[in-house]
Amino acid sequence: MVFFRHPKKPAVLDRLALRQSMVETQIKRRHVTNEAVLNAFLKIPREDFVPEDLKKFACEDRPLHIGEEQTISQPYIVALMTSLLEIVPTDRILEVGTGSGYQTAILHELAKDVYSIEVRPSLHKGAAETLKRFGIPTENIKLADGNLGWPEKQPFDKIILTAAVKAAPPGLLEQLKDPGLMIYPCGAWEQILILLKKSRGKITEREITTVRFVNMVTTNEER
């Protein structure tokens, strides 16, 4: 007797199907509909940015631990923050809190230049190695205190913080173009996602939704 085995789908197709489901059920259904943003999420494999033992959960609707008591945010929150920045292809963007590098890779699909800062050496090293495979130069990933921004690369059209602060850091506000947008989680335990707009020398802020991020780390003990 001869047994015939049904051919298995290539792993790459399974991964794409999971990303398609993630985009449809977690992102589009929550009213993030920018096509460029959705395409970036379809292209960038989230599983490449999480530890080996968590890859099977990569497309689930939740944050995942990446070490150093840090997490990769749930897909919807990454998509929401990205879409609110209204990124155009000519933008120069600063990301504060590289973490796993997933948000960085998404931004890289949408903007001209992306610069990212991470304060933890192990996360910086891991993210830089991963992002290099996505065509992001390692010199664009800096190990430093994100509160201070990246003065040598300013000004930035958009700035995104992936860790919570009590208020928008003054150093980052100085490096934001006018007009420009900044998005950041504000607060300690009870946090609100804030969209900040700089226009004609004035700063306005809009509350978006409640969120839960790790708190920003600084190397300056006076902060």
- 66-116: pLDDT as tens digits: 998 899 999 999 999 999 999 999 999 999 999 999 999 999 999 999 999
Query: Which range marks the domain in which residue 72 is found?
Result: 11-211
Helix boundaries (H) for the chain: 11-22, 35-43, 75-84, 102-108, 121-132, 170-175
pLDDT band at 12 (very low <50, low <70, confident <90, very high): low
pLDDT band at 13 (very low <50, low <70, confident <90, very high): low
6 domain residue, yes or no: no
Q: Take residue 209 and report the two structure tokens written for it.
A: 């939704």
The pTM assigned to this predicted structure is 0.91
Domain count, the chain: 1
Torsion-angle region of residue 68: left (phi > 0), alpha (psi -120 to 50) or beta? left
82 domain residue, yes or no: yes
| Cα–Cα dist 36/108, whole Å | 12
pLDDT at 5 over 50: no
3 domain residue, yes or no: no
Average pLDDT of the chain? 92
26 domain residue, yes or no: yes
pLDDT single digits (tens) 155-213 = 999 999 999 999 999 999 999 999 999 999 999 888 999 999 999 999 999 999 999 99
Count of alpha carbons within 13 angstroms of residue 70, beta-carbon side: 26
175 domain residue, yes or no: yes
4 domain residue, yes or no: no
217 domain residue, yes or no: no
Q: Take residue 96 and report the two structure tokens written for it.
A: 């504060």
107 domain residue, yes or no: yes
pLDDT single digits (tens) 58-80 = 999 999 999 988 999 999 999 99
Dihedral pair phi/psi, residue 193, rounded to 5°: -75, 125
- Tell me, yes or no, if 83 is annotated catalytic: no
Q: Residue 33 in 3-state DSSP?
A: coil
CATH number at residue 78: 3.40.50.150
